Amino acid sequence: MALIGTIRKRGWILIVLMALALGGFILMDVMSNSQRYSSADMNTLGKVGDIEIKRSEFDSYEKLVYSEQQKDNTYQVRNQAWTYFLEKAIVEKTVEPLGLGVGKEELLDLQFGLNISPVIGERFKNEIGQPDRAKLASIKNAIEQGQFTEPRARAYWAVQEKEIVKARLQEKLTSAVAKGMYTPKWQAEMVFKENNERRDFLAVRIPYTKIKDEEAPVEDSDYKAYLKDNPHLYDQEEESRVISFVSYDVVPTAGDTAHARETVSNLIEGLRTTKTDSAYVVTNGGSYLGIFIPKEKFPPAYADSVMVRPIGSIVGPLLHEGEWSIIKILDRRVLPDSVRARHILFKGVTPENEARADSLIALINSGKQRFDSLAMRWSQDPGSARMGGDLNWFANGGMVAEFNNLCFLTGEQGKVYKLTTQFGWHIVEITGKKFIKNETSAKVAVLSNRIVPGKTTQEAVKDKAVALIQQVKTITDLEALAEKQSIKLQNTQSFKVNDFNLGVVLGSGEDARDIIRWAFEKNTKVGSVSKEVFAFGDKNGGYFDTKYVVAAIKTIIPEGESTVATLKSVQDADFRVKNLKKAAYIISQSNNLGDLQAFAAKWGGKVDTLQGANFL
């Protein structure tokens, strides 16, 4: 049962199991531009069984799907693309003998229907995280009218359909495997016991940071002992390196803050007087959802103001999370917390479907036919039809805009309505409204300007990094200068030639790749200091630098079995050995303590009662 739950939550495990069942792969290095291929294999990146992964298809997919991410995340993008093709090939090879597939109607439903694929849901979502039904409707209409003709858009959509099919087949396989697994009685009883048998106990937590390194010094014998207990845990499949670095963060100045405020303030009069709020806001890069939002969903900086100031007034400029914002109050209403409705759907906005809707409404209003009976017979929404059209309770913003506005704004409970959405003609009856909080919601238009460091600010910080490089030639010089001037010198995690991630501080992407490329240059050796300053750009779409880095090679970890030198160089391994030594020190200094209270008193901790702990 534990395995079934794991498979349901982590579908990638199933992919690995299928890969092992299929045998080996011919995997080629898609990450390195220096790899050479024979002419026969030039267009083949790998194989899963007899399914070939073609370079031309891979390159086309990468450019279509990840074009917006290419600039800063080339290596990460290629890794994601490779994973997609690998999983797709495994899934296709696995479902072939099982007869699993995705039909035309199912595919349409996954793209435009009520059961949106996670692929679509992730790429076509509005500002509140819901599928952007309006955008999807316009695409569907363009396809049906033969107007979806732009070559790149058509190619993108074709590739996306393959992604949707692959994702859906993975869901079906995961479901089939989970349902087909047999759990022996003894295992079920054991899992039940592990999940439900609880214990209460007393404990004292002593952080390793309480023990100074010099109190528990680590010697080579400690590394050797750890290596004996974990002989191959840190074996190196290929050479890796570690750098030491100094990072200068670029922080906006008071002048930058004032400039951002002035910029958004200049838009106040235009926002106040415009007759087309949505167009003005969108044109100036603002946010206009067109829906009513409860007070708790607004930022605290202006949540109170939008609920009390007159309709049409401007709030701000106000500072919130690094942005200056102005807010125009468009309307306020008390909306239900949730609504329950039922509907009958005729797919397609056609005169024939409108006539069908009118006929059924007449039957319902006359009392000759029940709504639920007609829904079961005529509705083209299979998910709700079998429930008599019932959509259950849903929150504001949970449905496509036209449907949502009818249910939450204009419609009355118990009445039957007719409306169109991108899905077609709907017959709708609101069967319930819950007013629990009875709180007012507001519709607003927001214009914001992010506070960012200006060019002068960036240049001043970069000058500090340049000055540092001019004073050092080796990592020894850098370490000495850092200690003398109290400059923070940090180390990265170990990285390989094709990696794109340097850890928490420096992150991933092309900026990190610049350092990695330098670290593996032919003439770069242990002790080398970069002759250039590495700039790290904003990760949120801004055109400015957020930090400048000076790097030096601290360690080169060779390929092969792990050694004492390996453990000292790999950050995680070194950390573990030092903590084990500190644990031994704590134990050795606590042998004569009588109880937990004495233990807590000695080490500056406290006795906690842990309740309801189980095996897992």
Total domain count, the chain: 5
Q: What is the DSSP string of 116-128?
A: --HHHHHHSB-TT
Q: Are 141 and 286 part of one and the same domain?
A: no
Cα–Cα nearest to 579, from 96, 174, 168, 213: 213
Structure tokens at 550: 């000076």
Local structure of 213: helix, strand or coil: helix
Q: Are 61 and 138 part of one and the same domain?
A: yes
Going by C-beta distance under 8 Å and a sequence separation of 6 or more, which residues neighbour residue 360? 344, 369, 374, 378, 427
Q: Is residue 412 one of the residues assigned to a domain?
A: yes
Q: Is residue 195 one of the residues assigned to a domain?
A: no
Q: What is the pLDDT of residue 35?
A: 45
Cα–Cα nearest to 218, from 514, 585, 473: 585
Q: Is residue 22 one of the residues assigned to a domain?
A: yes
Q: Is residue 534 one of the residues assigned to a domain?
A: yes
Q: Is residue 189 one of the residues assigned to a domain?
A: no
What range defines the domain where residue 294 resides? 254-335+444-450
Q: What is the pLDDT of residue 566?
A: 85
Q: Are 325 and 350 part of one and the same domain?
A: no
Contact 235/562 with Cβ under 8 angstroms? Answer: yes
Q: Are 57 and 119 part of one and the same domain?
A: yes
Structure tokens at 521: 């240059």
Q: Is residue 316 one of the residues assigned to a domain?
A: yes
Q: What are the percentages of helix, strand and coil residues in the chain, rounded to 5?
A: 45, 20, 30
Q: Is the dihedral of CA 318, 323, 328, 334 positive or negative?
A: negative
Q: Are 344 and 426 part of one and the same domain?
A: yes
Cα–Cα nearest to 349, from 341, 357, 339, 360: 357
How far apart, in whole angstroms, are the C-alpha atoms of residue 507 and residue 440? Answer: 42
Residues in a beta bridge with 243? 553
Q: In 145-253, where does DSSP find H-type helix?
A: 151-180, 185-196, 220-229
Contact 331/443 with Cβ under 8 angstroms? Answer: yes
| Residue carrying the six token digits 């805009």 | 401
Q: Are 281 and 174 part of one and the same domain?
A: no
Structure tokens at 304: 């109170």
CATH number at residue 279: 3.10.50
Q: Tell me which amino acid residue 274 is.
A: T
Please report, for residues 107, 247, 512, 519, 570, the alpha-carbon distance to residue 496 in angstroms, rounded to integers and kept in the order given: 41, 21, 12, 10, 12
Are β-strands 545-557 and 240-249 bridged in parallel, bridged antiparallel, or unpaired?
antiparallel
| H-helix or E-strand spanning residue 86 | helix 70-95
Q: Are 504 and 588 part of one and the same domain?
A: no
Q: What is the DSSP string of 164-181?
A: HHHHHHHHHHHHHHHHH-
Give the end of a domain, one of 377, 402, 434: 434
Cα–Cα nearest to 237, from 559, 557, 499, 498: 559
Q: What is the pLDDT of residue 22?
A: 45
Q: Are 123 and 56 part of one and the same domain?
A: yes
Q: What is the DSSP string of 296-313?
A: GGS-TTTHHHHHHSPTT-
Q: Are 89 and 159 part of one and the same domain?
A: yes
Going by C-beta distance under 8 Å and a sequence separation of 6 or more, which residues neighbour residue 493? 242, 502, 503, 571, 572
**Mean pLDDT split into 10-residue runs, the chain, 616 residues:** 43 46 42 44 75 84 72 70 86 85 91 90 79 82 81 86 92 84 84 85 92 93 93 90 95 96 95 92 85 86 92 94 94 92 92 93 93 93 90 87 89 94 93 91 92 96 96 95 92 89 87 94 94 91 90 93 86 90 94 90 91 78
CATH number at residue 383: 3.10.50.40
Give the end of a domain, one of 450, 478, 504: 450
Contact 467/341 with Cβ under 8 angstroms? Answer: no
Q: Is residue 75 one of the residues assigned to a domain?
A: yes
Give the end of a domain, one of 406, 434, 462: 434
Q: Is residue 102 one of the residues assigned to a domain?
A: yes
Q: What is the pLDDT of residue 12?
A: 44
Cα–Cα nearest to 63, from 238, 55, 464, 203: 55
Q: What is the pLDDT of residue 150?
A: 81
Contact 91/169 with Cβ under 8 angstroms? Answer: yes
Q: Are 144 and 34 part of one and the same domain?
A: yes
How far apart, in whole angstroms, are the C-alpha atoms of residue 332 and residue 330? Answer: 7
Q: Are 141 and 7 part of one and the same domain?
A: yes
Q: What is the pLDDT of residue 68?
A: 57
- Give residue-wise pLDDT tens across range 256-271: 999 999 999 999 999 9
Q: What is the pLDDT of residue 67?
A: 67
Q: Are 10 and 89 part of one and the same domain?
A: yes
Please report, for residues 341, 342, 360, 406, the alpha-carbon distance to residue 372 in angstroms, rounded to integers and kept in the order given: 12, 8, 11, 20
